[in-house]
Amino acid sequence: MDKVLTFKQGRVPLLISMPHAGLRLTPAVKDGLIPEAHSLPDTDWHIPRLYEFAAELGASTLAGEYSRFVIDLNRPENDAPMYVGATTGLFPDVLFDGVPLFREGLAPSKAERATYLEQIWKPYHQTLQQELARLKAEFGYALLFDAHSIRSHIPHLFDGKLPDFNLGTFNGASCDPQLACDLETICAQHPQYSHVLNGRFKGGHITRHYGSPAEHIHAVQLELAQSTYMEEVEPFNYRQDLAGPTQIVLKQLLARIIAWGEGHYAKA
């Protein structure tokens, strides 16, 4: 596998993880997909572009290059279920709409999937671990923001329309409660957007596994409704007229995470 991730080191103790932004496919996956999956509809579209301001804030960024149709970087290595009800696993076999992802008999083999685990999943998590360790060694703490997006209407996964900003802290286990409260307050200051904390999306494997306030690592996931910055139908165009106002809120959220860390640990 060549170029399985893109990593840029920053200057503040915040790492932005983007595990589902990838568009690359392996030959086995590409050849086996059903026609409806060729456009990669379940991608977290344009997330690196949406968060391109991260460099201004000094945050480190990490983005996966391969599609979640190959392997899902936000699922545990042992593929333990993340959510009750409809969901997708380490090696997705259905689209978000519940339709089989691969044509019959054409899913990647166990050997191929073992290679994806070794050459795509593990390098991403090794890089994530190393950067969190570096930040904690330098600053005494580390902040992790797991950036996601999803179509606002997916009846197979959730009822009705998804809130615009879906913050997840694994029911308060992955970050300090005051930080979560501060982020909710910022969302409430922008009533044109709906928001929820620990609703349908409480945080996937990355948030749950790496977030550990007792060890001074605070993790938050944001599942952003794609209607806030793009067209949700093919060809999934980025909409700057929508993205611009959304980026204002995102910048405030990330700036608050950085400021919270500085204030919280200055008191420690």
Q: Which residues of 50-87 are buried (b: 16+ CB within 10 A; e: fewer)?
A: bbeebeebebbbbbbbbbbbbbbbbbbeeeeebeeeee
- Chain segment 49-92, per-residue pLDDT in tens: 999 999 999 999 999 999 999 999 999 998 666 655 546 789 99
pTM, two decimal places:
0.95
What digits encode the pLDDT tens for the residues 206-254?
A: 999 999 999 999 999 999 999 999 999 999 999 999 999 999 999 999 9
Confidence at residue 157, expressed as pLDDT on a 0 to 100 scale: 86
Q: What is the SS3 assignment for 202?
A: coil
pLDDT tens column, 1-14: 789 999 999 999 99
Per domain, the residue ranges of the chain are 5-267
pLDDT score recorded for residue 88: 72
Which CATH number applies to 5-267? 3.40.630.40
